[in-house]
Structure 1
């Protein structure tokens, strides 16, 4: 039984967190006429967790989750598509990140600056996981 506890601790030991911070893009987002005609700014933040023991041990790029590849794909998705709802854009970005088999959990927050008159921005946050829930 103590071996199982050691295994769980070992698994958490090399759990890496990648944070993509304030990725600023322009896209078509919204339902009002001016939103449909004109691109608007969005700000994307993502937190991605994956097991990095092989990357840590072997120090080879092939063993790591390539955040540059993920970011390029997010840029292409957001800039090349039109979205009616911020929720839909957030879900599609999250699904794209989760499509990488190495990703265990991910959280995506997308801000739409100046969407409300007296607020800096409005944002939607969604998350997903491949990890089984541990009993408490």
Structure 2
């Protein structure tokens, strides 16, 4: 198999990957009394893939997936709500990202720093895809 054949099989050259790295927010997260009363830090990372052929061809923001809009929505949602579970917060952020029709796949990881005494953080990761699964 030539390199070109491998490339055509495994890579779609029109797909762009947006990485939102270490978005640090404060929100109400948890079930303990002090967690319910006080905001805590969370760190959000997301990987978003979308078809960028029009954005690359026309070089107009209207053709691209606007990561600034998505980030503002995530910030507002996380900071303006209360969550008992990290799983629920992660699901809601993933749903918010997937609500953008251009998004083909997304993965969201949310860390809760200092949630455990001897660990830097605890995190939950969830993924979703509009793309059909490829046979293995």
Partner of 1:58 in structure 2?
Answer: 58
Partner of 2:31 in structure 1?
Answer: 31
Give the CA RMSD over aligned residues. Answer: 1.3
1:72 lines up with 2:91 in the alignment: no
Distance 2:99 2:15 in 1: 18
TM-score in terms of structure 2 length: 0.92
Alignment of 1:73-112 (within 5 A): 73-112=73-112
Partner of 1:13 in structure 2?
Answer: 13
Deviations 1:85-133 (A, max 9, x none): 0000000000000000000000000000000000000000000000011
Distance 2:71 2:13 in 1: 25
Distance 2:133 2:40 in 1: 38
Structure 1: gaps of 5 or more residues: none
Aligned residue pair count: 129
TM-score in terms of structure 1 length: 0.92
SS in 2 for 1:13: coil
* Deviation beyond 3 Å, 4+ runs, structure 1: none
